[in-house]
């Protein structure tokens, strides 16, 4: 199959690109820096397959996104079997202190760019269907696309939006034979927490939020390194959803993600939010002193 995956430089994206390649697929790895950077990041074994291709794709650049159909037309005869929207990052901190530009950038990368890629790739996905393929779109969302957390608000909004359009796409695209799947991971040990953009809070203007943000940063790093799951589980799920005949829409993965999803399903919102207020205060805002 001919597969495009964004955010292929590291984390889930790189692991999945390699796994798909070693399953015999043609992979177009989209990453910032394109071929030059890609050749430095991937193993000589992967490069030697001759089935790994690179495209420079900074997601905030409409010009870069617009070059994609041309690449698919020239190299794959206009056919694409799987689009995997994986690239993304987290903007975290109190919403009160975030700038419009920061929130818009978060939406641009995590929501508008994946949606634009769907539009740009649909003619090629439909071509796959016309040629007897079983094309699909796999959007990497998050448990944060189903449940909101404190200081994740903008990231939550971007992933909730991705969830919304993905569900709508199931109805819109099934007549064309294009399937849609969402993956909703909990915490996994990738570089995600290291590349979080934190909101700036000036202690002289808002000492309480500044102190809470410091605790949040400390606890996020600690939680990620202690409790994060193995990212290979997600790349295996990406491979499975790329290859299996029929895919369902939602795929929650990770212990913490499952726990939150079950609570969301079982408890009325008022109870769940009361319970999670206590939980999040302990997990994210507990004083660093009491942790030692």
Active site residues: 9, 141, 155, 159
Nearer to ligand NAP, 59 or 80 (CB): 59
Which three-class secondary structure state does DSSP give residue 84?
Answer: strand
Q: Does 38 bind ligand NAP (CB under 6 A)?
A: no
Q: Closest Cα partner for 17 from 163, 231, 251, 177?
A: 231
Nearer to ligand NAP, 78 or 224 (CB): 224
Q: What angle do CA 197, 34, 80 make, to 5 degrees?
A: 100
Q: Which of 13, 38, 94, 153 binds ligand NAP (CB under 6 A)?
A: 13
* Phi, psi values for residue 26, rounded to 5°: -90, 130
Q: Which of 42, 54, 76, 89 binds ligand NAP (CB under 6 A)?
A: 89
Q: What residues from 171 to 200 belong to the interface with ligand NAP (CB under 6 A)? A: 185, 187-188, 190-192, 195
Q: Does 60 bind ligand NAP (CB under 6 A)?
A: yes
Q: Which of 16, 17, 59, 241 binds ligand NAP (CB under 6 A)?
A: 59
Q: Does 140 bind ligand NAP (CB under 6 A)?
A: yes
Q: What residues from 231 to 290 belong to the interface with ligand NAP (CB under 6 A)? A: none
Do residues 198 and 92 lie in contact, with contact meaning Cβ atoms separated by under 8 Å? yes
Q: Which two tokens stand for residue 32?
A: 């910032």
Nearer to ligand NAP, 178 or 234 (CB): 234
**How many chain residues interact with ligand NAP (CB under 6 A)?**
26
Shortest Å, Cβ 185 to ligand NAP: 4
Nearer to ligand NAP, 59 or 83 (CB): 59
Q: Which of 1, 21, 84, 109 binds ligand NAP (CB under 6 A)?
A: 109
Q: Which residue is nearest to ligand NAP (CB)?
A: 11
Q: Which two tokens stand for residue 262?
A: 């079950």
Q: Does 58 bind ligand NAP (CB under 6 A)?
A: yes
Could you give the CA distance from residue 3 to residue 36 in angstroms, rounded to a whole number?
Answer: 20
Shortest Å, Cβ 284 to ligand NAP: 15
Could you give the CA distance from residue 31 to residue 35 in angstroms, rounded to a whole number?
Answer: 8
Residue-wise DSSP of 88-126: ---EES-GGG--HHHHHHHHIIIIIHHHHHHHHHHHHHH
Q: Does 219 bind ligand NAP (CB under 6 A)?
A: no
Could you give the CA distance from residue 290 to residue 292 in angstroms, rounded to a whole number?
Answer: 6
Write the burial class of residue 282 (CB in 10 Å: 0-12 exposed, 13-18 middle, 19+ buried).
exposed
Q: Does 7 bind ligand NAP (CB under 6 A)?
A: yes
DSSP code for 54: E
Shortest Å, Cβ 194 to ligand NAP: 7
Shortest Å, Cβ 138 to ligand NAP: 11
Q: Closest Cα partner for 5 from 156, 155, 137?
A: 137
Which three-class secondary structure state does DSSP give residue 289?
Answer: helix
Question: Which residues contact ligand NAP by CB under 6 A?
Answer: 7, 9-13, 31-32, 57-60, 86-89, 109, 140, 142, 185, 187-188, 190-192, 195
């Amino acid at each position: 199959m001919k597969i495009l995956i964004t955010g292929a430089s590291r984390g889930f994206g790189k692991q999945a690109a390699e796994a798909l390649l070693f399953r015999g697929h043609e992979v177009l790895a989209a990453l910032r820096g394109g071929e030059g950077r890609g050749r430095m990041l991937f193993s000589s074994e992967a490069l030697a397959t001759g089935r790994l291709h690179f495209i420079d794709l900074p997601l905030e650049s409409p010009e870069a996104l617009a070059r994609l159909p041309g690449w698919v037309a020239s190299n794959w005869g206009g056919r694409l079997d799987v689009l995997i929207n994986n690239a993304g990052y987290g903007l975290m901190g109190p919403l009160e202190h975030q700038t419009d530009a920061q929130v818009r950038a978060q939406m641009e990368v995590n929501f508008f760019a994946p949606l634009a890629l769907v539009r740009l790739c649909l003619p090629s996905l439909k071509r796959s269907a016309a040629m007897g393929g079983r094309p699909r779109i796999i959007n990497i969302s998050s448990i944060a696309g189903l449940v909101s957390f404190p200081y994740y608000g903008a990231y939550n909004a971007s992933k909730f939006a991705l969830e919304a359009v993905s569900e709508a796409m199931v109805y819109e695209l099934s007549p064309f034979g294009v399937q849609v799947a969402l993956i909703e991971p909990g915490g996994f040990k990738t570089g995600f927490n290291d590349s979080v953009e934190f909101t700036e809070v000036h202690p002289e203007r808002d000492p309480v939020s500044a102190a809470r943000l410091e605790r949040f940063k400390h606890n996020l790093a600690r939680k990620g390194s202690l409790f994060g799951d193995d990212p290979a589980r997600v790349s295996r799920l990406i491979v499975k959803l790329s290859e299996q005949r029929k895919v369902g829409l939602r795929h929650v993965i990770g212990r913490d993600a499952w726990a939150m999803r079950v609570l969301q399903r079982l408890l009325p919102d008022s109870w769940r939010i009361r319970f999670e207020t206590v939980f999040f205060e302990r997990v994210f805002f507990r004083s660093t002193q009491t942790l030692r």
